[in-house]
């Protein structure tokens, strides 16, 4: 795989849930003096969405250049139009990603923000109240949605800015020559020669230059794992390569634990369950999290490699949608994130192999049918194998 463009001398702050993320984001927007780029899958019409909108409008009133990208499906057709009208009146520039599927089926699932080219946020947190379900029902959750983001200062901000500004320009009316120049620019690497304090890289997934970049980053890290692997994801339906990499790590004696969100979508749970027997048989530990909605897409390997971002371990994130993760190589940061994941594991329920070794035939049939529907749909819409 093409090597990730790691840069050193970054300062990263881990933010858990909206209680830490939104005050930091709004404070940064209120302190902006030059420009704000924001990209999100969901920009909800709730109290939190209103607070972020107000901050963006205050910045625009000060003369700050504001560019906001929201996904047309994630934000919703009606609310996307409402946002457009409200932002137009306030001098906030807004573009909706892929309305009416004009650019195919891919969505932007990324959660990025860059402020004054000196501060960035990357993670899995949408612009919405994390005490409300994000499946469209807006039903109250028993506890805040379990999710993470990272606040970034240092050389990596330039890489995030390059990516998010390129997205903004791609959604405009660019000529072919300009699109080619953008393509070449985003392939360039932003590097730093230092060794400390934190070495990190931005890894993105799209359907042009980075089709399997995020999956390959996972595979490379799993291939070098020696002691422990902790993954957390709300949706689990890995391709064959990622599944095999998890199994091989466990077979080498690596302690592999997956924390999987359950209870949101019955079909998604059934698809995940179709993987359980083989993974458990190979020594992979599975823990189901149902205390509240698990939305985090995070991992820690050997306390030396960690990732936080928007990419789930399923077909949509790994092979269809646009995603963005940060990969971090720093023991202190990895230990901090590991402690969060371990607390999540403690709040979950570990799955025993006996629970799936002799399940009733109709459950086995349901899990098999669910996976077949999932894989077939994926192959039809992407014209590719689910690997």
Q: Which of 302, 303, 347, 355 is catalytic?
A: 302
- Which secondary structure element, helix H or strand E, spans residue 21, and what is its range? helix 17-31
Whether the predicted pLDDT of 116 surpasses 90:
yes
Lowest mean pLDDT among 11-20, 135-144, 240-249, 342-351: 135-144
Active site residue 30: no
Q: Which of 273, 295, 314, 340 is catalytic?
A: 295
Token representation of residue 81 = 């139009």
Active site residue 138: no
Q: How far is it, in rounded angstroms, from Cα 181 to Cα 184? A: 5
Q: How far is it, in rounded angstroms, from Cα 257 to Cα 286? A: 6
Please answer whether residues 233 and 260 qualify as being in contact, where contact means their C-beta atoms are separated by less than 8 angstroms. yes
- CA quadruple 322, 328, 329, 333: dihedral, nearest 10: -160
Q: Which of 94, 161, 273, 297 is catalytic?
A: 297
Between 134 and 181, the higher pLDDT residue: 134
Active site residue 297: yes
Per-residue pLDDT averaged across 49-59, rounded?
98
Where are the domain boundaries for CATH 3.30.870.10 in the chain?
7-187, 202-382
CATH class in words for 7-187: alpha beta
Whether the predicted pLDDT of 185 surpasses 80:
no
Tell whether pTM > 0.75: yes
pLDDT class of 355 with cuts at 50, 70, 90: confident
Q: What is the pLDDT of residues 60-80, one digit of tens each?
A: 999 999 999 999 999 999 999
Phi and psi dihedrals of 140, rounded to 5? -70, 140
Active site residue 71: no
Q: Which of 30, 46, 116, 347 is catalytic?
A: 116
Kindly write down the DSSP assignment for every residue of 150-183, as one continuous string: EEEESTHHHHHHHHHHHHHHHTS---HHHHHHHH
Angle, CA of 69, 28 and 292, to the nearest 5°: 70
Q: Which of 94, 111, 161, 273 is catalytic?
A: 111
Fold of 202-382: Endonuclease; Chain A (3.30.870)
Q: What is the pLDDT of residue 351?
A: 96
Active site residue 109: yes
Per-residue pLDDT averaged across 5-23, rounded?
96
Phi and psi dihedrals of 342, rounded to 5? -65, -35
Q: Which of 109, 161, 273, 340 is catalytic?
A: 109
Active site residue 116: yes
Token representation of residue 17 = 């849930």
Q: What is the pLDDT of residues 198-227, one digit of tens each?
A: 999 999 999 877 888 999 999 999 999 999
In 3D space, the residue among 26, 64, 29, 66 whose CA is nearest the CA of residue 47 turns out to be: 26
């Amino acid at each position: 795989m093409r090597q990730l463009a790691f840069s050193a001398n970054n300062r990263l702050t881990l933010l858990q849930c909206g209680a830490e993320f939104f005050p930091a984001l709004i404070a940064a927007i209120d302190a902006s003096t030059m420009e704000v780029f924001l990209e999100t899958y969901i920009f909800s019409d709730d109290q939190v969405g209103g607070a972020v909108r107000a901050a963006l409008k205050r910045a625009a009133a000060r003369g700050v250049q504001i560019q906001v990208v929201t996904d047309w499906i994630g934000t919703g057709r009606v609310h996307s139009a409402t946002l457009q009208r409200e932002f137009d009146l306030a001098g906030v520039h807004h573009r909706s990603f892929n309305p009416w599927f004009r650019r195919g089926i891919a969505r932007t699932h990324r959660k990025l923000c860059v402020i004054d080219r000196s501060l960035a946020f990357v993670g899995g947190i949408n612009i919405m109240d994390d005490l409300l379900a994000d499946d469209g029902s807006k039903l109250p959750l028993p506890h805040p949605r379990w999710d993470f983001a990272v606040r970034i200062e240092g050389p990596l901000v330039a890489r995030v800015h390059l990516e998010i500004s390129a997205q903004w320009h791609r959604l405009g009316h660019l000529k072919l020559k300009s699109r080619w120049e953008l393509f070449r620019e985003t392939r360039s690497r932003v590097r730093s020669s230092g060794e400390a304090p934190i070495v990190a890289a931005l890894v993105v997934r799209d359907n042009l230059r980075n089709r399997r970049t995020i999956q390959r980053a996972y595979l490379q890290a799993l291939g070098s794992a020696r002691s422990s692997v902790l993954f957390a994801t709300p949706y689990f339906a890995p391709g064959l390569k990622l599944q095999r990499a998890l199994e091989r790590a466990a077979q080498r004696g690596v302690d592999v634990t997956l924390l999987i969100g359950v209870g949101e979508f019955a079909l998604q749970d059934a698809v995940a369950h179709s993987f359980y027997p083989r993974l458990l048989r190979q020594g992979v530990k599975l823990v189901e999290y149902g205390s509240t909605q698990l939305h985090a897409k995070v991992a820690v390997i050997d306390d030396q490699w960690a990732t936080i971002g928007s990419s789930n371990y399923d077909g949509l994130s790994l092979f269809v949608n646009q995603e963005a993760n940060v990969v971090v190589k720093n023991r202190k940061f990895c230990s901090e994130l590991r402690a969060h994941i371990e607390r999540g594991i403690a709040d979950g329920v570990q799955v025993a192999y006996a629970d799936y070794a002799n399940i009733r035939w109709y459950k086995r049939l349901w899990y098999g049918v669910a996976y077949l529907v999932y894989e077939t749909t994926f192959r039809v819409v992407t014209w590719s194998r689910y690997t």
